Structure 1
Amino acid sequence: METVIDGQPYQLTLMSEINVAREGGMSEGAALQASVIDTEDYRSIWMYLKEVAVRQGFVDIEVNGARVRTRYAEAGSPDKPHAMLLHGTGGHWETFAPNLAALSEHFHCVAIDMVGNGFSAKPDYDYEIPVYVEHVLGVMDHFGIQRANFVGMSLGAWVAATIAVSQPDRVSKVILMSPAGKEAAAANMARIRAERTKAVNEPTWESLHAVFAHLIADEANRLPDLIGLRQAIYRRDDTRETIDHLLILQDAAARDRNLIPEQDWKAIAAPVMVVASGRDHGVYQETATSIAKLIPQAEVFEMPNVRHWPHFEDPELFNPAAVAFLSK
């Protein structure tokens, strides 16, 4: 469909036209190369943030001997209880865009791009769990946060659980989504390494869309500007140069030495809400089930229709449950 803006013609590709293209034999990736505008129900991560007082910035944090320029987003009054929001592998703070409005009404939220991820600095060393833990604690120290709630997904859940084990005095409550850190699944690790390496080496819309197909179940929730942000990250020289550092936890030996032992899961004293995503990859569903049985004060929150990003895929279900749990 052609439209005219300031006297210039522009071609808009509607969702209906994408569907027609698919039915006509065009590959999904080719169809998605165009900018997609759903004129019936336009959605963007910024629609979630339009009325939220989000303060984005950068701060230097010392991590493993290097100064790491750290990108963060802050929302909510610092006088409220604190909440640290931790993304997954290769992620960035916008992962939590649909949650900041609801959470910041009750909590002082700090979402970060963890070291080696997003638009934060990517120093020349491997990003293993102790490195992430040091980074998160350093950010907390910078903001004067002695104790916080943690909301972590995938890698972020692994980091949050490790902090709950090693620094219990700094943890109030924890929400673990699509949790990692209990076991190593060779097939899943190989898939992640292959997908992410391809996407970094060939940061096309199609390769990035393939990554998000494993993260978000419903095509309608794979928002173009979300994919565009990840594409911008993967096009960066520092991302390409440090991809092996980022993916170190997909190597069997490295993963094994970073896993949380069963006795440590049992030693977590903080109350924990484990989110069980019904359409996630099997290893994450199995981990959610098993750690919920190990953690003394754990409860399970079922989200049957989501994949790896439950908080992003269904914020209407997740947000009130998260607020209720963290407010107990």
Structure 2
Amino acid sequence: MSSVWVDLLGAEVKYYDAGGVRTRCIEAGEGPPVIFLHGIGGHAEAYARNVVPLSDRFRVLAIDSLGSGLTGSGDKPADLDGYLEHLGAFMDAAGLEKAHLAGESLGGWIAMWMAIRHPERVDKIVSICGARLTVETDPESRVWTDRGRDELKRLTQQFVEDPTRDNVRKRMEWLFHKPERDLTEELVDIRWAMYQRGELRNSLAGSAKMLGSRPAHDDGLDFTPERLAEIKHETLMLWSSHNPSNTAATAKRASAYLPNCSFQVMDDCGHWPQWEDADTFNEIIAGFLKD
């Protein structure tokens, strides 16, 4: 299995001043821009197997989001307004008036909210196992989702209370359908090194609190059918057969509320299909964005 930095040969690591926040970006290619957004506690290396293969058609930018990876937080809180303000400032700094947005988990949530709040800055959207879908679904899917969220909360809290490399690994195993096949020691090393930053550890502690305090009622941040209907952009809901949070059945039901949406499932993958089956993922993304 190749190294992250072998996969990224030909890409550049750049730092942009995004409204006063020093923002790291792994970037390659020219053409229509596509910004990749990672999930909670993540960083740009989540897309190490996608940046260069897609760069022959697109300007690909995988960023460390606000307060994540090697990106600072400035004085912006890691909430919806903070994430959107930072993404808009990054686009300004990178000279992007408009871009495709592809986000995994939290990143999918950010991308879809960007389309609602700032539709003029978004071209197409890809939600990769995106977070906070609140639609009616079957009882089996609800049990699966609750179990997955509870386990992520437990693993996150375990690391916050006992920040060891082994606990980083255990939390990362949650991301993969078959961690013994797909989770490399190099990837664990990268995240463990990232988590030596006090700021990032604090951010993860904040996410643990958020995971444990989801309101029983709509707090205005979930994607209900009404909010999904507000997104007019061409959207791809790209899911996986073994996503440990929302099931493919739930995502398919949610996609029906989006006015201009297609839906696709990648087999034999968990929460990181872009890593677990990169060739299929890259083909799907290129096909969806090429027009």
Q: 1:197 to 1:57 in 2, by over 3 A?
A: farther
Provide the TM-score with structure 1 as the length reference: 0.78
Q: 1:260 to 1:130 in 2, by over 3 A?
A: farther
Paired letter, 1:166:
R
1:165 maps to: 116
2:256 maps to: 293
Q: CA deviation at 1:96?
A: 0.5
Matches within 5 A, 1:211-250: 211-218=171-178, 219-250=180-211
1:280 aligns with 2:239: no
Taking only aligned residues, the RMSD between alpha carbons, in angstroms, comes to 2.2
* 8 Å contact kept, 1:124–1:242: no
1:57 aligns with 2:8: no
SS in 2 for 1:308: coil
Q: 1:287 to 1:89 in 2, by over 3 A?
A: farther
1:136 maps to: 87
Write the deviation string for residues 244-282 of structure 1: whole angstroms up to 9, x where unpaired.
334454221498342233222112111111112001125
* 8 Å contact kept, 1:200–1:235: no
Q: 1:284 to 1:91 in 2, by over 3 A?
A: farther
2:152 maps to: 192
Question: Matched residues in 2 for 1:162 and 1:315: separation?
Answer: 26
Q: 1:70 to 1:260 in 2, by over 3 A?
A: same
Write the deviation string for residues 278-301 of structure 1: whole angstroms up to 9, x where unpaired.
011252434422221111111111
1:44 maps to: 3
1:326 maps to: 289
Write the deviation string for residues 23-78 of structure 1: whole angstroms up to 9, x where unpaired.
xxxxxxxxxxxxxxxxxxx432123122x2x121222323xxxx32211112112x
* 8 Å contact kept, 1:200–1:239: no
Q: 2:25 aligns with which of 72, 89, 103?
A: 72
1:105 aligns with 2:56: yes
Paired letter, 2:18:
I
* 8 Å contact kept, 2:51–2:61: no
Structure 1 residues 258-267 or 191-200, which shifts more?
191-200
Identify unmatched segments of 5+ residues in structure 1.
1-41
Structure 1 residues 237-246 or 293-302, which shifts more?
237-246
1:11 maps to: none
Identity %: 27
* 8 Å contact kept, 2:40–2:204: no
Identify unmatched segments of 5+ residues in structure 2.
136-144
Question: Matched residues in 2 for 1:136 and 1:249: separation?
Answer: 21
Q: 1:123 to 1:141 in 2, by over 3 A?
A: closer
1:252 maps to: 214
* 8 Å contact kept, 1:128–1:258: no
1:29 maps to: none
1:84 maps to: 35
Question: Matched residues in 1 for 2:53 and 2:238: separation?
Answer: 18
Question: Matched residues in 1 for 2:67 and 2:156: separation?
Answer: 14
1:313 maps to: 276
Paired letter, 1:132:
Y
* 8 Å contact kept, 1:45–1:223: no
Provide the TM-score with structure 2 as the length reference: 0.88
- Number of residue pairs aligned between Structure 1 and Structure 2: 279
Question: Matched residues in 1 for 2:210 and 2:13: separation?
Answer: 28
SS in 2 for 1:203: coil
Structure of greater Rg: 1
Structure 1 residues 153-162 or 115-124, which shifts more?
115-124
Question: Matched residues in 1 for 2:99 and 2:73: separation?
Answer: 25
Write the deviation string for residues 200-235 of structure 1: whole angstroms up to 9, x where unpaired.
443333212211221012222101111111111222
2:168 maps to: 208
Paired letter, 1:56:
V
Q: 1:96 to 1:282 in 2, by over 3 A?
A: closer
SS in 1 for 2:133: coil
Question: Matched residues in 1 for 2:17 and 2:150: separation?
Answer: 33
Question: Matched residues in 2 for 1:198 and 1:142: separation?
Answer: 37
